[in-house]
Structure 1
């Protein structure tokens, strides 16, 4: 799977995977605060989730785009020229043809015609405060739009969290598997069987729990739900990242449980927890509910 969710992993792994440590109240809390500050910076960055401004599924063939409501892909009228050009989808190939006066740029270079989805490596284009690129979900293609002057970005004031607690830094046993698939559905309703390197087995208050991970042993991606989702945390679950130690164990630091991108924007396409990752446990750690994007 991880072609589908590699974007999440590449963007987030460097922030959320930190070395294991021996617990010390003050040092650990300081480390969590530093990690959280990087988390906030990543959300507010140009590549972060707070500036998402649109998600537009492309039809096969010609898709006109710009600020005029007559276009197939309608950008914010106050941020875009009425007609910027055409985006052509031809059996997985995506070509942008800009109108002569569109002021569409690839970096500092004006664009007239460009393959904007070569080898699943999307090109980011810009016009005024807008940025956009192509994403692929299953066999569908869409324009993901960002606005560097987004109201979601301007209105962001931080994320409420539970107090840091030692009890939620949990040592897990990693049970490796070969050829295992995990069925994951995203919020658009698309389901895919994703490769899983194994399962994390851990105990809280003497009771054993299990979480299936995707990704790799160096970068395990866990999508989980728990009983706090009902009222205190994001209703569709949260994310957690970790890695496998040389001795076959892994730290599950639930103090680093994070909201998925869909908590911050209605334009994200997030994976949902597989049914086996819905814990009969209230994980009162990490990020609490943010916003109304359920």
Structure 2
């Protein structure tokens, strides 16, 4: 390969990474993204009012209910609602967004619990956000691995950023790869989109230059022969890296890599990163 071709390829690699990085930052800092969250409220059978959302909220066998007082309104699926409104039983990792003025009230189910999580565009964490530090992209960290599906998906319980909370994923398989001559593997979880995979992991940089609890790598569907690309340059922070108002899952025990993955996003400035 000529030097010119190498330079062109690296330029394209860097531009592709920058496009991914900017999209990550845009989603995070959107007007109703994770940096806009102002509270994480856990529901039970008792009606509760919160300072950053209208109404009195409760949950039970029939799902989440809000009782809106005089002059209070939410817009659900484009329709204004008043008085009592029933959101019903929510699926795990599912949720509904209700609009309240310029805010969005997220009603969701996480780890078997129903929560209300308001998102306000003027949240200080969002308005002060200046971007996430990251390692410079390097093709060395774009590795080829092999996906090995399990005979049947394996229910895998992992911890969460919130103490006492657990998440359960049906792991479809594992990914084997080599780094500097060392054979490594990662358990994969289903990703968003048909055939896509998600890998939660830590490594020797965790708590040093990268966020201690977790990072996530999203993978395109494996090829017919099981080949899959692990581009660790795109190892991303989960919302819990920025805010304590997130319920992010932790990696399974066997996804704690004994090597330093010096690629991807670093510790956010909000957590003392530089």
> Per the shorter chain, which TM-score range?
0.7 to 0.9
Give per-residue Cα distances to partners, 1:143-178, cap 9 Å, x unaligned.
111111111110111111101111100000111102
Confirm or deny: 8 A CA contact 1:240 1:257 kept in the other structure: yes
Give per-residue Cα distances to partners, 1:41-71, cap 9 Å, x unaligned.
11122442111111011121422x2xxxxxx
Confirm or deny: 8 A CA contact 2:33 2:119 kept in the other structure: no
Confirm or deny: 8 A CA contact 1:129 1:149 kept in the other structure: no
Structure 1 segment 1-294 matched on structure 2, within 5 A = 24-63=9-48, 65=49, 74-76=50-52, 84-106=54-76, 107=78, 109-120=80-91, 122-179=95-152, 180-188=154-162, 189-215=164-190, 218-243=195-220, 244-290=222-268, 291-292=270-271
Confirm or deny: 8 A CA contact 1:224 1:278 kept in the other structure: yes
- Displacement of 1:119 in angstroms is 4.7
Confirm or deny: 8 A CA contact 1:172 1:202 kept in the other structure: yes
- Displacement of 1:293 in angstroms is 8.8
Give per-residue Cα distances to partners, 1:188-244, cap 9 Å, x unaligned.
222344211111111111111100001067211100000111310001120001031
Number of residue pairs matched by the alignment: 257
Identify if the C-alpha distance between structure 1 residues 24 and 238 changes in structure 2 by more than 3 Å, giving closer, same or farther: same
Unaligned runs of 5+ in 1: 1-22, 66-73
SS in 2 for 1:266: coil
CA distance in 2, matches of 1:289, 1:195: 29
